[in-house]
């Protein structure tokens, strides 16, 4: 057989060339995979460090997304799932993301700035804190180098002055806010001035009534002190008494007619005057409770209604005070007898999952009912309170604002309040008053759902001035259609006005008609099952022992928190022993000098809005005094031991009852551990 050397040589060179080329290709591919791996590892470490450092939620989310993106790219290049980076907690990315959200939300609430703390306390209605709030706001408005912070402080200081009846000071500050084109509170200040002008005018009417009453009482006393020995003087005194009494009735008629909505018409005032004159004759009773209350201007609003207040807003992540979070006790069947729980919450509008138009029927159902929006969030991004409590449902409900003792009626005159609530709150109140709910899932894009949620929050935060609740033109139902119009394309919007600004489409105000309008505009994705009142939801479980599966979880959580606290204590003791943590560094770890607040090792009480605000907290005054007397390492270690032992005992006892605070405690301990070098 003839040997074909040229052909063999060609084949050999071809194989050699292919092997060399493949080697280069493999080397290049391995290099790309290695680079992808290093990039993925780097982004993971950045994400992990951000979580451990309790950075803000926006930063953590961005780093989380970057980490996921780099991980997917590495998987694609390598064709295999990567080995877990060292120290990655079991559970992977989703667990870390959840921990990040919980940590950042709780840390944000716990580490409120002086301005945030002042805003929350101002809007809590606690009069005992008003003077300290004013001092804080005055300091910030005068010394802050951040114009936005100083502008917000001026606006809130004006609100504080209104509460203190310092109308002159309030007016000056509101006008300063209005004149500042860059102040985001300008529009709210304009509405606040409406209310301020009403209060000033009402104060004038109240002063006139008080003066007229005092004059009438004095004239009556003058008459009674005169004898009939001088009949002409006696008769003249009687005429004077009658005249002053009539003047008082007229002054009270002016006050009654103006009170509430600031509208005083001649016919209404005359009617009130004649009615009072007929009913009360010329009797002047200094002990008349209703008239005294009217003259004093004292207004006590129903406990279950409170105006929401913006604490912070950063790229769609809202921190809001005065969000209702359920009720203490069951209140029998009277929702006005319940004690509401108010919270400061963090709401990430970027992760809203669903939006619902919900109707609560009540008699007569052919026309009556209440409507509101409910929003649902994904599992990784719940609404979180300052105590670490979570809800996956968030509600915006516009209602007629009522004073204590008032009841809603179709003919009454009411202001408005846009309430923000947790889903569980509304289910509880419906179980108390026996109402059912009919939810309609809305067919909206993700962008429209977010837009609707943002619009709902912004409406709730807007200053309402002298706005009144109107049965057909400004009620709980038609305002929802107006909000929907803000996110719908023009061709699918609801027709609010039959004749622009003259004839309103009153059918939009009827809850019973709402589903028909939604269906006509193809906005119902699904009619959800009716939610009926459940007596098990009516009673609040706060302060009650855990049961069932909750008890099993609580036992596990108690052990985890106890062990974690013990390990943090040991880390602190070691740092003190090594000299890495002296008493000044120790003080900075627990105490914020600017706000005079203890910032760590707080155990929230079961009912933090009541007297039981804290199951354990370090007393600021005692803490500062104790540290100043510490003169040795051993004394500092001994004090650390005593603090942590008391904390562990209190936390263990508190975690025997609802609500669960384990995430809050773990995040607090993690924050201390991260700051100990």
Condensed to tens digits (0 to 9), the pLDDT of residues 445-464 reads 999 999 999 999 999 999 99
Which of 81, 99, 123 is a domain's end point?
81
Rg (alpha carbons) of the chain, rounded to whole number: 33
What's the mean pLDDT when you consider all of the chain?
Answer: 83
pLDDT band for 384, please (50, 70, 90 cuts): very high
Residue 176 has pLDDT above 60, yes or no: yes
Question: Could you give the CA distance from residue 322 to residue 480 in angstroms, rounded to a whole number?
Answer: 21
pLDDT band for 45, please (50, 70, 90 cuts): low
Q: Which of 45-49, 409-413, 597-601, 644-648 has the lowest mean pLDDT?
A: 45-49
Residue 66 has pLDDT above 70, yes or no: yes
What confidence score (pLDDT) does residue 346 get?
Answer: 94
pLDDT band for 266, please (50, 70, 90 cuts): confident
Residue 222 has pLDDT above 80, yes or no: yes
Clarify whether residues 319 and 403 are in a common domain: yes
The pLDDT > 90 percentage for the chain reads 47
This prediction has a pTM of 0.70
What confidence score (pLDDT) does residue 41 get?
Answer: 63
Average pLDDT over residues 80-103: 39
Q: Which residues have CB under 8 Å from 412's CB, separation 6+?
A: 400, 406
The residue that leads in pLDDT, 13 or 246, is: 246
Clarify whether residues 345 and 443 are in a common domain: yes
pLDDT band for 89, please (50, 70, 90 cuts): very low
What confidence score (pLDDT) does residue 86 get?
Answer: 41
What confidence score (pLDDT) does residue 214 get?
Answer: 93
Clarify whether residues 374 and 498 are in a common domain: yes
Domain for residue 410, yes or no?
yes
Question: Could you give the CA distance from residue 272 to residue 288 in angstroms, rounded to a whole number?
Answer: 17
Clarify whether residues 483 and 578 are in a common domain: no
Residue 60 has pLDDT above 70, yes or no: no
Residue 200 has pLDDT above 70, yes or no: yes
Question: Could you give the CA distance from residue 217 to residue 286 in angstroms, rounded to a whole number?
Answer: 8
Residue 26 has pLDDT above 80, yes or no: no
Question: Could you give the CA distance from residue 277 to residue 256 in angstroms, rounded to a whole number?
Answer: 14
Domain for residue 366, yes or no?
yes
Residue 54 has pLDDT above 60, yes or no: no
Condensed to tens digits (0 to 9), the pLDDT of residues 101-160 reads 333 334 334 446 899 999 999 998 888 899 999 999 999 999 999 999 999 999 999 999
Average pLDDT over residues 622-626: 90
Clarify whether residues 485 and 341 are in a common domain: yes
Cα 210 to chain centroid, rounded: 39
What confidence score (pLDDT) does residue 239 get?
Answer: 92
Clarify whether residues 367 and 449 are in a common domain: yes
Residue 312 has pLDDT above 60, yes or no: yes
Domain for residue 382, yes or no?
yes
Question: How many folded domains does the chain comprise?
Answer: 4
What confidence score (pLDDT) does residue 20 get?
Answer: 43
Condensed to tens digits (0 to 9), the pLDDT of residues 388-403 reads 889 999 999 999 999 8
Question: Could you give the CA distance from residue 477 to residue 370 in angstroms, rounded to a whole number?
Answer: 7
Give me the torsion for CA of 586, 60, 420, 467, rounded to 10°. Answer: 100
What confidence score (pLDDT) does residue 31 get?
Answer: 58
Domain for residue 449, yes or no?
yes
Clarify whether residues 283 and 223 are in a common domain: yes
The residue that leads in pLDDT, 39 or 274, is: 274
Residue 74 has pLDDT above 80, yes or no: no
Domain for residue 279, yes or no?
yes
Residue 2 has pLDDT above 60, yes or no: no
Residue 47 has pLDDT above 70, yes or no: no
pLDDT band for 274, please (50, 70, 90 cuts): confident
Clarify whether residues 360 and 498 are in a common domain: yes
Clarify whether residues 268 and 392 are in a common domain: no
* Selection from 101, 121, 2 nearest residue 59 by Cα: 101
What confidence score (pLDDT) does residue 648 get?
Answer: 93
Average pLDDT over residues 630-643: 93
Domain for residue 203, yes or no?
yes
Domain for residue 120, yes or no?
no
Average pLDDT over residues 377-395: 91
Which of 296, 319, 350 is a domain's end point?
296
Which of 538, 556, 578 is a domain's end point?
538
In this structure, are residues 55 and 85 in contact, taking their beta carbons and an 8 Å threshold?
no
Average pLDDT over residues 631-656: 92
The pLDDT > 70 percentage for the chain reads 80
The structure tokens listed for 112 are: 């409120």
Domain of residue 42 covers 5-81
Clarify whether residues 349 and 253 are in a common domain: no
Per DSSP, the three-state class of 357 is strand
Domain for residue 601, yes or no?
yes
Clarify whether residues 534 and 584 are in a common domain: no
Q: How far is CA 56 from CA 52, 61, 280, 311, 581, in A?
A: 11, 9, 63, 15, 26
What confidence score (pLDDT) does residue 37 get?
Answer: 59
The structure tokens listed for 15 are: 């194989």
What confidence score (pLDDT) does residue 36 get?
Answer: 67
Q: Is 163 exposed, middle or buried (0-12, 13-18, 19+ CB in 10 A)?
A: middle
Clarify whether residues 506 and 363 are in a common domain: yes
């Amino acid at each position: 057989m003839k040997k074909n050397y040229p052909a063999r040589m060609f084949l050999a060179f071809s194989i050699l060339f292919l092997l060399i080329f493949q080697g280069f290709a493999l080397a290049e591919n391995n290099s790309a995979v290695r680079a992808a791996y290093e990039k993925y590892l780097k982004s993971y470490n950045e994400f992990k460090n951000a979580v451990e450092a309790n950075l803000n939620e926006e930063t953590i989310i961005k780093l989380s997304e970057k980490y996921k993106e780099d991980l997917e790219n590495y998987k694609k290049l390598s064709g295999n799932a990567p080995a877990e980076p060292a120290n990655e907690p079991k559970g992977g990315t989703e667990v870390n993301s959840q921990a990040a959200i919980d940590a950042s939300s709780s840390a944000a609430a716990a580490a409120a700035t002086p301005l945030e703390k002042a805003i929350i306390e101002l809007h809590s209605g606690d009069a005992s804190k008003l003077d300290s709030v004013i001092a804080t706001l005055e300091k910030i408005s005068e010394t802050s180098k951040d114009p936005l912070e100083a502008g917000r402080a001026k606006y809130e200081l004006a609100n504080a002055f209104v509460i203190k009846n310092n109308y002159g000071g309030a007016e000056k500050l509101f006008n300063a806010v209005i004149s500042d084109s860059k102040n985001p509170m300008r529009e709210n200040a304009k509405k606040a001035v409406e209310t301020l002008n009403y209060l000033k005018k009402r104060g004038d009417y109240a002063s006139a009534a008080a003066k007229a009453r005092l004059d009438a009482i004095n004239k009556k006393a003058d008459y009674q002190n005169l004898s009939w020995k001088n009949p002409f003087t006696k008769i003249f005194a009687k005429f004077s008494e009658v005249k002053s009494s009539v003047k008082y009735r007229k002054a009270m008629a002016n006050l009654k007619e103006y009170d509430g909505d600031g509208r005083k018409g001649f016919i209404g005032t005359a009617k009130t005057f004649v009615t009072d004159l007929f009913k009360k004759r010329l009797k002047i009773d200094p002990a008349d409770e209703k008239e005294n209350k009217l003259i004093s201007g004292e207004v006590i609003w129903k406990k279950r209604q409170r105006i929401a207040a913006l604490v912070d807003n950063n790229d769609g992540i809202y921190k809001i005070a005065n969000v209702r979070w359920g009720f203490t006790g069951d209140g029998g069947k009277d929702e006005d007898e319940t004690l509401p729980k108010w919270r400061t919450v963090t709401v990430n509008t970027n992760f809203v999952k669903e939006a619902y138009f919900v109707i609560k029927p009540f008699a007569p159902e052919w026309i009556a009912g209440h409507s509101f929006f409910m929003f649902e969030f994904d599992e990784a991004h719940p609404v979180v309170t300052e105590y670490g409590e979570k809800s996956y449902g968030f509600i915006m409900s516009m209602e007629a604002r009522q004073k204590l003792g008032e009841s809603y009626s179709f003919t009454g005159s009411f202001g408005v309040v846009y309430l923000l609530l947790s889903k569980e709150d509304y289910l509880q109140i419906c179980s108390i008053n026996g109402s059912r709910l009919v939810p309609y899932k809305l067919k909206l894009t993700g962008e429209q759902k977010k837009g609707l949620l943002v619009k709902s929050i912004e409406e709730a935060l807007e200053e309402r001035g002298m706005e009144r609740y109107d049965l057909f033109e400004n009620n709980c139902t038609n305002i929802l259609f107006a909000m929907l119009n803000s996110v719908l394309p023009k061709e699918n919007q609801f027709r609010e006005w039959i004749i622009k600004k003259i004839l309103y489409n009153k059918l939009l105000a009827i809850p019973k008609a709402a589903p028909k309008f939604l269906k006509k505009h193809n906005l119902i994705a699904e009619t959800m099952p009716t939610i009926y009142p459940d007596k098990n939801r009516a009673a609040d479980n706060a302060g009650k022992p855990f049961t069932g599966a909750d008890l099993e979880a609580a036992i596990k959580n108690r052990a985890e928190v106890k062990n974690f606290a013990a390990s943090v204590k040991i880390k602190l003791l070691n740092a003190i022993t090594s000299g890495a943590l002296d008493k000044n560094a120790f003080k900075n770890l627990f105490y914020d000098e600017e706000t005079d607040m203890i910032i760590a090792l707080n155990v929230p009480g079961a009912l933090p809005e009541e007297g039981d605000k804290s199951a354990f907290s370090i007393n600021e005054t005692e803490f500062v005094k104790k540290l100043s007397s510490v003169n040795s390492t051993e004394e500092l270690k001994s004090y650390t031991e005593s603090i942590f032992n008391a904390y562990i005992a209190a936390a263990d006892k508190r975690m025997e009852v609802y609500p669960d605070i384990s995430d809050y405690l773990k995040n607090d301990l993690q924050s201390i551990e991260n700051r100990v070098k």
